[in-house]
Amino acid sequence: MNIIVLVKSVPDPAAKVGVRDNKIVEDGLAWEANPYDENAVEEAIRLKEKYGGKVTLITLGPKRAEETLKKMLALGADEGILVSDPAFEGSDELATARILAAAIEKAGGYDVIWAGWTGVDWNQGIVAQAVAEYLGVPHVSFVTKFEVNGQTARCETEVEGGREIIEVDLPAVLTAMQTLNEVRYASLKNIMAVKRKTIPTWGAADLGINPAEVGKGAAHHHLMKLIPPPERAAGRVLKGAPEETVQELVRALREEVKVL
Ligand SMILES: Cc1cc2nc3c(=O)[nH]c(=O)nc-3n(C[C@H](O)[C@H](O)[C@H](O)COP(=O)(O)OP(=O)(O)OC[C@H]3O[C@@H](n4cnc5c(N)ncnc54)[C@H](O)[C@@H]3O)c2cc1C
């Protein structure tokens, strides 16, 4: 089975991200794999363990994203490809999807393409579906359970107030929910193996993409203002005998927070 996984490098979700001149402050910021993409990589490795084959990871981003790719390779994937070119900077979702689709086609045949259901930074939740459109294959989103049956797959997906069972023809694009699986730790053997792997970098010329059609200049939207969320006020610890603290809590919820 030939499995491709789209892995996005995002600011460490636990980090406090600052904003300056309408941009996030990157100095000293740690970059990690998008959490849902970790579940996508884990699912791909489990499929390879069950059916054999190869797992290829593809990341679009600047040179520093190579470290994220290596961390995900150490989970047990076979190959990693960094798609990077100054012409790609500031690309919107559609251009991002188009570039990734071109990289998938260059990487060769695929039976399944996994992605995360959304990127925790821009949270558009659209790139994977757009990749499916560019490749002309079906897609299933929010997958919580996945089973292959020959040339089709049975997917359980999370929907408002329930779940859906969807049968899809392969190849297809699927997006992973966090409940799809438990991500296993990288083994020392795999961590060491990654050190010997070379990660090719593909740019616009390698993918046959016209730089004028991607990047900031071709984006369908422009960022007007980037505003960090307001600082959260510190919480208040209620002390005293249980009866007193309960009374004080009810009073505060009624008079201050006005939720009772
Ligand atoms: C108003 C606005 C302004 C923006 N301005 C900028 C800007 O100035 N600079 C900029 O860089 N971006 C900018 N963006 C973000 C950019 O346009 C896309 O939204 C972004 O590239 C898509 O990321 P996402 O996390 O929303 O993707 P989603 O659609 O949420 O991602 C879903 C899945 O697709 C895959 N995926 C997504 N991106 C990648 C990737 N790069 N590599 C590999 N797999 C991937 C992952 O598996 C991910 O889990 C802006 C967005 C908006 C809405």
Backbone φ, ψ for residue 56 (5° rounding): -115, 130
Do 243 and 116 lie in a common domain? no
| Three-class SS of 176-228 | ECHHHCCCCCCCHHHHHHHHCCCCCEECHHHHCCCHHHCCHHHCCCCCCCCCC
**Does residue 246 form part of some domain?**
yes
**Does residue 224 form part of some domain?**
no
The average pLDDT across 220-229 equals 89
| CA 81 / ligand 1 centre spacing (Å) | 18
Do 80 and 168 lie in a common domain? yes
CA 15 distance to own-chain centroid: 17
pLDDT of 53 = 96
**Does residue 104 form part of some domain?**
yes
d(CA 163, CA 222): 36
Do 125 and 147 lie in a common domain? yes
Query: In the chain, how many domains are there?
Result: 2
Residue nearest to atom 32 of ligand 1 (CA): 118
pLDDT, one tens digit per residue, over 95-120 is: 999 999 999 999 998 999 999 999 99
pLDDT, one tens digit per residue, over 149-203 is: 999 999 999 888 899 999 999 999 999 999 999 999 999 999 999 999 999 999 9
Do 172 and 259 lie in a common domain? no
**Does residue 225 form part of some domain?**
no
pLDDT of 234 = 81
Candidate from 3, 4, 5, 8 with most ligand 1 atoms within 8 A of CB, to mutate: 8
Backbone φ, ψ for residue 182 (5° rounding): -100, 120
The average pLDDT across 20-25 equals 89
Task: Flag whether pLDDT at 260 surpasses 90.
Answer: no
Task: Flag whether pLDDT at 128 surpasses 90.
Answer: yes
Task: Flag whether pLDDT at 240 surpasses 90.
Answer: yes
Task: Flag whether pLDDT at 230 surpasses 90.
Answer: no
Do 188 and 250 lie in a common domain? no
What band does 16 get if pLDDT is binned at 50, 70 and 90? confident
**Does residue 29 form part of some domain?**
yes
pLDDT of 95 = 98
- Check: CB of residue 41 under 8 Å from CB of residue 5: yes
The average pLDDT across 18-36 equals 92
Do 52 and 171 lie in a common domain? yes
Task: Flag whether pLDDT at 229 surpasses 90.
Answer: no
Do 133 and 244 lie in a common domain? no
**Does residue 157 form part of some domain?**
yes
For 108, the domain range is 2-218
Do 60 and 171 lie in a common domain? yes
What band does 50 get if pLDDT is binned at 50, 70 and 90? very high
pLDDT of 72 = 97
Do 35 and 101 lie in a common domain? yes
Task: Flag whether pLDDT at 134 surpasses 90.
Answer: yes
**Does residue 131 form part of some domain?**
yes
Atom of ligand 1 nearest to the CA of 58: 43
| CA 10 / ligand 1 centre spacing (Å) | 10
The average pLDDT across 18-44 equals 94
Task: Flag whether pLDDT at 66 surpasses 90.
Answer: yes
Antiparallel, parallel or unpaired: β 79-83 and 201-202: parallel
Q: Which residue has the tokens 């925790």?
A: 120
The CB of 214 under 6 Å from ligand 1? The reply is: no
The CB of 39 under 6 Å from ligand 1? The reply is: no
Do 245 and 133 lie in a common domain? no
Do 214 and 244 lie in a common domain? no
pLDDT of 124 = 95
- Write the CATH number for 71: 3.40.50.620
The CB of 171 under 6 Å from ligand 1? The reply is: no
The CB of 96 under 6 Å from ligand 1? The reply is: yes
What rounded mean pLDDT belongs to the chain?
95
Find the radius of gyration of the CA atoms of the chain.
22
Query: What is the SS3 assignment for 255?
Result: helix
Do 86 and 191 lie in a common domain? yes
pLDDT of 146 = 98
Antiparallel, parallel or unpaired: β 162-169 and 152-159: antiparallel
Task: Flag whether pLDDT at 22 surpasses 90.
Answer: no
The CB of 192 under 6 Å from ligand 1? The reply is: no
The CB of 120 under 6 Å from ligand 1? The reply is: no
**Does residue 197 form part of some domain?**
yes
